[in-house]
Amino acid sequence: MKKVVIYLFCVICLFSCKKNEYLNASIDEPTVEFASTALNETIPFVTGTEYSIAVPIQVFGGNSTASLSVKAETKMPSDAYSVANSVQLKGKSLDTIFVKINTKKIEKGTDYNLKLTISSSNVTVSKNYESCIVTFSQQAFMDFFTGTYSCYESSTGATYNVEFVKQNGTTIKNMNFYDFPLAGQYVPYVFTQDESMLVEIPENTEWTDNLGNKYLVSGTGAYELNGNFAVDFTMKDAATEEIYMTGKHTFRKK
């Protein structure tokens, strides 16, 4: 009986040693993976023709300078994006795969998906985090400037709410110009989508107030990337073209 107990004890120790050996080997072996299986990115509406999305990868259990193969799967046209086919790890715990987006080839306000998968013959890749789905969209420019704003009018010192409605891809409509419009009347604001960040009320825009008086409105100003903008305006009597009012409208998003 004593011999049987000793034999069982030896067997248990043997299996225990093998298990520990396996665990130690796995801990010491570097493993590469994406930091997350999903990444969401919003491209600002004012950006260049190329935008880079940084997709982080990480190394556990040591360092590595191995090469990773990168596979990209998407329904996007091939000229709308680019991703390197391989990445050389830099021997650090964190690294990055860059997805470059050609913003001229995508529709603003539309969501796009791109699945990245990494593999390697030189280093272990985590099976649970070998892929990352990158979801992104570019902000629709004029949609950002629609909705309710607080308007400060310098010529009268008044503050009141205005509603901006999208007219097209470059223009919004002020449905409460001067806080006294005839029902259905509006003033258009045209936005220049470049570094000048200009806003303009087209010259001699016709507008009618709530009493039926007709005016010619024009103006110029600038917008900010937080959604606020300001416009210096001029109102002329439509019949005589004499200046009726000048001032500045400062619009702050509510």
Q: What is the pTM of this model?
A: 0.59
Is residue 136 within 8 Å of residue 105, measured between CB atoms?
Answer: no
Alpha-carbon distances of 147 from 26, 106, 144, 170, rounded to whole Å: 56, 25, 8, 15
Do 189 and 226 belong to one domain?
yes
Q: What is the pLDDT of residue 240?
A: 97
Q: What is the pLDDT of residue 244?
A: 97
Longest dimension (CA), the chain: 121
How far apart CA 46 and CA 27 sit, in angstroms, is: 46
Domain annotation covers residue 13: no
Do 159 and 114 belong to one domain?
no
Do 129 and 184 belong to one domain?
no
CATH code assigned at 62? 2.60.40.1740
Do 156 and 244 belong to one domain?
yes
> CB-hemisphere CA count at 13 Å for 83?
25
Domain annotation covers residue 178: yes
Q: What is the mean pLDDT of each run of 10 residues along the chain (254 residues)?
A: 46 43 53 97 85 97 94 97 96 95 93 98 96 94 92 98 95 98 98 94 98 98 94 98 98 96
State the pairing for strand pair 38-43/131-138: parallel
- Structural domain count, the chain: 2
**Coil, helix or strand at residue 223:** strand
Do 131 and 149 belong to one domain?
no
Domain annotation covers residue 90: yes
Last residue of a domain, one of 115, 138, 161: 138
Domain annotation covers residue 7: no
For residue 180 the two structure tokens come to 């006294």
